[in-house]
Structure 1
Amino acid sequence: RKKVVRELIFDPEIEKTAKANRKAVRLEHQAALLASGTEEILEEEVPSSNTSNDETESMAGVDPPPRRTLGDYGQATGVSESNKKLRLFPLSLTGRAKDWIDTLPPNTIASWDELELKFRERYFPIHKFLERWNDITNFEQGDSESLYDAWERFKLCLKKCPKHGLDNHAQMQHFTQGLRAQTRMLLDASAGGSLKNKDESEARELVEAMAQNEYRVQNDRGAKKKAGMLELDTQTALLAQSQLMNTQMEAMLKHFTTAPAPQMQAN
């Protein structure tokens, strides 16, 4: 069998290339240790040569193994999600929260569930939970708040209270009950009668679609009007209809109060 020998490429900065190769191998090795849950980082010697392992094996007539990338190490087996969260969560903290977790006695937390419980007890006590839970269950749309802003604020309330225990149906009930009457009328009209006739997923999709449409219309117009104000023609039509009904009711009451009572004739 004839061996294929590759021509080596001359590198005028061989030391610089070797240093870069050593750094790349060191970072790859550290990433592998982090993904496997190992805390010790072993030193690895890399020969200061511009000839890679793949090239050496190719010159020897041996097919090189597939090159591993950094993403491959993220699929390491044998490491539970709990251990991953337990190791990475402290890196996301800053300020007093980081000082708090750094001062915990060693070997006092063995799982992610224990760390989550202690963290919630420290920074999310029961009174704060009840306050944010009430923000969800007693949600109300502001007088000058648009449907889009109200919907985004409600979703933020849910995010701030992740353990609220409300299913999707209950969430939509609390949201729609807190809307202004005018907003509910528009939703009912868009639903073809009543939003209550829709199931939870259909109602959520309708609210999301109307909120996004309202947001796009406001941006397209570029007006700086107060969020939540109905369009002038819609508001005027509703007001005119209400005034017409009041006028008709007043006329009927006046007719009944001024008309003479019928007299009974004796036989």
Structure 2
Amino acid sequence: MIFYRNNDNLMCKIFVTILQGEAQDWFHTLQPQSIRSFDELSLVFIKEYSFYCSIKKKFDHLSNVKKNLNESIHEYVKRFKAEKVKIFGCNDSITSAAFQKGFPADYSLFGELIMKEDLTLADSFTLVKKHAL
């Protein structure tokens, strides 16, 4: 990256390719076109992850993330992902169960999410996305 330090666009693109796991999930929660330079991206990233170093959340935190009545599915998924990245080493099956239980019981998709066995978090997100279309 040192070779490209004068090219902000390229630096941002290279930076994104090295992110993995929770950091990559966090990156995808950023609003489109909200970052204008690599310096700004660096600052936002450091601010986000220095916060997580001092305050760690546990798995049970996700059980408190519920879909609000006036919230769209897209907004709920985005908010859930933002909360998920605050937990280090998040177990997929526990995370998937918390996501599914975040829907109200009378929500049309709730039964379908609960009835499917071994549904990963990615599968749940895909199912919800298809339902939202």
CA contact (8 A) 2:59 2:90 kept: no
CA distance in 2, matches of 1:141, 1:177: 9
Q: Which has the higher contact order (CA 8 A, sep 6+)?
A: 2
CA distance in 2, matches of 1:124, 1:93: 15
Post-superposition shift, 1:167? Answer: 1.3
Could you tell me the percent identity over the aligned residues? 14
Runs of 4+ in 1 over 3 A off after TM superposition: 91-95, 123-126, 132-135
Q: Which residue number in structure 2 is paired with residue 170 of structure 1?
A: 94
* Alpha-carbon distance change, 186 to 129 in structure 1, aligned in 2, over 3 angstroms: same
Q: Which residue number in structure 2 is paired with residue 129 of structure 1?
A: 56
Q: Taking structure 2 as the reference length, what is the TM-score of the superposition? A: 0.51
* Alpha-carbon distance change, 196 to 204 in structure 1, aligned in 2, over 3 angstroms: farther
CA distance in 2, matches of 1:158, 1:170: 11
Q: Which residue number in structure 2 is paired with residue 186 of structure 1?
A: 109
CA distance in 1, matches of 2:43, 2:116: 47
Instruction: Tell me whether 1:198 sits opposite 2:122 in the alignment.
Output: no
Q: Which residue number in structure 2 is paired with residue 208 of structure 1?
A: 126
The within-5 A match list for 1:241-260 is none
Q: Taking structure 1 as the reference length, what is the TM-score of the superposition? A: 0.29
Between Structure 1 and Structure 2, whose CA radius of gyration is higher?
1
Over aligned residues, Cα RMSD in angstroms? 4.0
Post-superposition shift, 1:170? Answer: 0.6
Q: Which runs of 5+ in 1 are unaligned?
A: 1-29, 35-80, 82-90, 99-118, 217-267
* Alpha-carbon distance change, 177 to 206 in structure 1, aligned in 2, over 3 angstroms: closer
- The amino acid of 1:198's aligned partner reads E
CA contact (8 A) 2:65 2:80 kept: yes
- What SS does structure 1 have at the residue aligned with 2:69? coil
Q: Which residue number in structure 1 is paired with residue 79 of structure 2?
A: 153
CA contact (8 A) 2:56 2:87 kept: no
Q: Which runs of 5+ in 2 are unaligned?
A: 6-17, 19-38
* Alpha-carbon distance change, 143 to 124 in structure 1, aligned in 2, over 3 angstroms: same
